[in-house]
Amino acid sequence: MIDTHCHLDASRFDPDRSDVLTRAWAAGLQGIVIPAVGPETWEPLLELPRREPRIQVGLGIHPQLLPELPPEHDAEHLERLDALLTRGGAVAVGECGLDGPSFPGAPLERQLAVLRGHMALARKHGLPVLMHCHRAHPALIAFLKEEPFPEAGVLMHSYSGGVELARFYLQKGCHFSFAGPVTWAEARKPLDALRVIPPERLVAETDSPDQAPTPHRGTRSEPGYLPHIIEGMARALGEPAEVLAERTTLNARKLFREAFPPASR
C-alpha cells in the first residue's frame, strides 16, 4: 500500500514521528507521499527522501495558507518553487488548489492565479498535481475547462464530491484518492463517486493527521491506518481488500513515475 497524501511533517507528529513510521511499515505500507503546505517547508521536506526512499514529497502552496502569506510575494514563491523543482527530488506539485472557506483572506482571483502558476510548473517539470478543492468545485471546473492539463496528470486528493463532478474530472483525465470518510457510517457521496471511477484512476490516502477512518475516527490519523481505508473502499466496490491494495499501489507507482522502491520479498 502507498499513502498518497499524508502530512507527516505536521506538528501533531512531533512527539512520536519515528514511531508513526514504524507502525506504518509494520501495517504493510511501501510508500508515503508528503505534500508541502507552504514555502517554509520545501527544503526540509526535500531532505526526507534522501534519508528514506519510501518517503516522497510534493512541493506547493496550500490555498488555506495563502491568507497568511503576503500576496506581493506570490510570484517570488513560484519562482523559488520552479528552482527547487528543477533541482529534483519532488514527485509532485502541490498540495495546491482552491479553498472556498479561505476566500475572505485569499480571494478567488488570487487563488486561481497561484493555482495557474502551479499548473504551469507541473507541465514544465512533467509532474502530477496534488489538487485540493473544498467548497470551490464550480470555480475549479471553470478553471480546468480553460487551463491546459498537465501530461503527468492531476490527483483529486481526498475526493468528496458527487458522481456528476467526478464524471467531469474523469473526462479531463484526473485520478482520484479517497481518505477516511469512505469508512464513516454516513458516507454517501464519496462512495457513490468511488463506484464510477475506472480502476486504473484510483489510489488511497490517509490525509493524516486529519480525517481518521473508523474505528479511529475523532483521533489523530496516521499512515498506518491506510488498511482501514482500503478495506472501506473494497467493501463499497465489492472486491477483496488485497486486490484493491495491490491495484492502488500499482496506480500510485505509475502516477509518481516509479518513485518508490520495489517491495522487498
> Domains of the chain (ranges plus CATH)?
2-255 (3.20.20.140)
3-state helix, strand, coil in the chain (%, to 5): 50, 15, 35
Grouping H, G, I as helix, E, B as strand and the rest as coil, residue 32 is strand
> What residues in the chain have per-residue pLDDT under 50?
265
3 is in an annotated binding site: no
Task: Please state whether the peptide bond connecting residue 215 to the residue before it is cis, i.e. omega within 30 degrees of 0.
Answer: yes
At 101, give phi and psi (nearest 5°): -60, -15
pLDDT number for residue 61: 98
5 is in an annotated binding site: yes
- Per-residue pLDDT of 183-201, as tens digits, reads 999 989 889 999 999 999 9
228 is in an annotated binding site: no
7 is in an annotated binding site: yes
pLDDT number for residue 69: 98
- Per-residue pLDDT of 123-167, as tens digits, reads 999 999 999 999 999 999 999 999 999 999 999 999 999 999 999
CA-CA distance, 224 to 25, in Å (whole number)?
A: 7
How many Å separate Cα 264 from the centre of its chain?
Answer: 25
pLDDT number for residue 258: 87
pLDDT number for residue 264: 58
207 is in an annotated binding site: yes
132 is in an annotated binding site: yes
